[in-house]
Amino acid sequence: MTSPPSLWQLFRVFFVMGATSIGGGVVGYLRSALVVRQRWVDDATFVELLAISQTLPGLNATNMSILVGDRLRGTPGAVLAALGMCLPGAMLMTGAAFAYGIGGDDPLSKAFLHAIAAGAVGLVLMVMVQLGAKVLSGFADYVFVAVTAILVAGFRVPVPLAMIGMGAIAIWWHRPRKAPPSP
């Protein structure tokens, strides 16, 4: 691994990623920039930081920026990495809101927007399948997924309640134990 980058370098690399990672899948962009091109972290560290990012609340891409920035340059590094990652998208989306205010009511824009909303559901489902392939490993896990979804989407249970309740049950189910689980 090379010596830690300067704060400016760190900001620049994350800013470029924040501006070019179009179409979701920021994790792929992160890996190719941080592990392959810059060699700031190795693959094992990357996977470990990713597991932390996905477990903690917060967006995966933002959490990864904070964790990698912190590893490389401490708190200032974490702040600049996260800023670089978020700024381009944040500026674009703010601009988009104003454009929507001007042209969003046009029937042609509405036809476009409603169709991309339908397409975006397809993307969300794909992300869910990918996430599921990584973390679900037994019948019980699928039950936790189904019950959580039925509670939130079916019975309108508030997300924090479902998260804490189902989270506690699922963590308890996977609790560390030496003997094999009794049937």
Partner 1 sequence: MKQLLDIGGVFAYLSLLTVGGGMAAFPELKELTVNTYHWLTFPELLHYYSIGQLAPGPNMMMVATVGAHVAGLPGAAVALVAFILPTGIFTLVVGRLWNRLANWPWRPAIERGLGSVAVGLVLSGAIVMGRGAFTSPYYIALGAAVFGLLMMTKINPALPILASGAIGMAAYLL
CB of 107 to partner 1, least distance (A): 7
Q: Does 54 bind partner 1 (CB under 8 A)?
A: yes
- For partner 1, which is the closer residue by CB, 6 or 58? 58
**Of 3-11, 36-44, 82-90, which part binds partner 1 (CB under 8 A)?**
82-90
- For partner 1, which is the closer residue by CB, 3 or 108? 108
- Kindly report each contact of residues 27-35 with a partner whose C-beta sits within 8 Å and lies 24 or more positions away, as own/partner: 27/60, 27/61, 27/64, 30/61, 30/64, 30/68, 34/68
Q: Does 102 bind partner 1 (CB under 8 A)?
A: no
Nearest-angstrom CA–CA distance, 112 and 109: 5
DSSP per-residue string spanning 144-169: HHHHHHIIIIIT---HHHHHHHHHHH
**Of 5-13, 33-41, 49-57, which part binds partner 1 (CB under 8 A)?**
49-57
